[in-house]
Amino acid sequence: MSNATRITARELFEQLEQRLGLRWIAGQRGQDRVLESGDHLARRPALAGYLNTIHANKVQIVGSEELNYLDGLDQRQRWESLARIVNDTPLALVITKDRDAPDDLRDAANESDTPLWVSDRRGHELLTYFQYHLARALAPRVTLHGVFMEVHSIGVLLTGESGLGKSELALELISRGHRLVADDAPEFTQIAPDMLDGTCPEMLQDLLEVRGIGILNIREMYGDTAVKRNKYLRLIVHLQRQELACEVDRLYGDLGSRRVLDLDIPQITLPVAAGRNLAVLAEAAVRAHVLKSKGFDAAQTFIDRQAHQMRRLQQP
């Protein structure tokens, strides 16, 4: 299930108010102004940048040089420049280093309902924070069904139909020292071309549902080290009823991949049957994946040994 990504001026202000020392001084009626993913791709502007009246950024940072530039214009040019700035409907204007906002800039912000903020931070600090925060907030995002965990230091998503024992497997892995990120509905954000960051919805934080027991608070039961705030998704372990499983390659196992947003994530399918220790199998699958990512392939090693032995036997 894909989630639309958007952020309002009010949400952005509240999320960064304390970190950046923001004060809202004009344009308060523009608090519902919205920035959606893809808005900045329609033209050349960036999500955040220094004041630009040609290709306006979505968050316009107004530093000392930009204010000095406006001061150097005659009255008509200054009015035209301010009109052009607010007519481009930026999400917000941000003045740096606690500089006083010119009266005509305040008036333009109030008349156009353009949020005008002031921060005591320098321009390059604001630029770094806004670019990172907006890029992450507007990144492609999807919610998947399963249990997301850290197993042997990599992010592993446990999937499968209801009733197969995903939560029981997760609980066993937690008791073996691994960590829970999210149960039932982990959210994945593509924060880079080759990276998916998985997190837990606030409502489900630290919780795991186990049939027959109910909701468990993993942090309270096992301590802070049993949970993790986020992790990059590297592997999917899919549980499947053994009677539904196809014939498996005895050398390589049931390996494949699953498309998540723009990435193909490696997936291994584990048949579920009575007497199989899924926790041990899941740990082994993760260890094998880690070794393979480092260039070691046990199946290929076996094939190479067999070929070498056959060549020896064929020699006179």
Candidates 88, 183, 184, 197; catalytic one? 184
Whether residue 308 lies in the annotated active site? no
- The single residue of 76, 250, 294, 311 carrying the catalytic annotation is 250
Give the gyration radius of the chain's Cα atoms. Answer: 27
Is 250 designated active site? yes
DSSP one-letter string for 205-234: TTEEEETTTEEEEHHHHH-GGGB-SEEEEE
Phi and psi torsions of 210, nearest 5°: -120, 125
Q: Which of 121, 141, 166, 289 is catalytic?
A: 166
Residue of 99, 145, 258, 292 marked active site: 145
Whether residue 97 lies in the annotated active site = no
**Separation CA 63–CA 120 (nearest Å):** 11
Rounded distance between C-alpha atoms, residue 192 and residue 140, angstroms: 10
Give Cα separations from 225 to 15, 181, 201, 280, 304 (angstroms): 27, 11, 19, 21, 42
**Cβ atoms < 10 Å from Cβ of 107:** 12
Q: How far lies 102's CA from each of 20, 26, 48, 108, 197, in Å?
A: 21, 11, 21, 10, 42
Cβ–Cβ < 8 Å for 239, 159: yes
- Alpha-carbon distance 48 to 223, whole Å? 40
Alpha carbon distance 87, 56 (integer Å): 10
E strand or H helix that includes residue 170: helix 166-175
Tokens at residue 176, please? 């073996």
The helix/strand count (H/E) of the chain reads as 9, 19
- Residue 174 near residue 218 (C-beta atoms within 8 A): yes
Strand-strand pairing, 230-241 and 59-62: unpaired
- Active-site residues: which are they? 145, 166, 184, 250
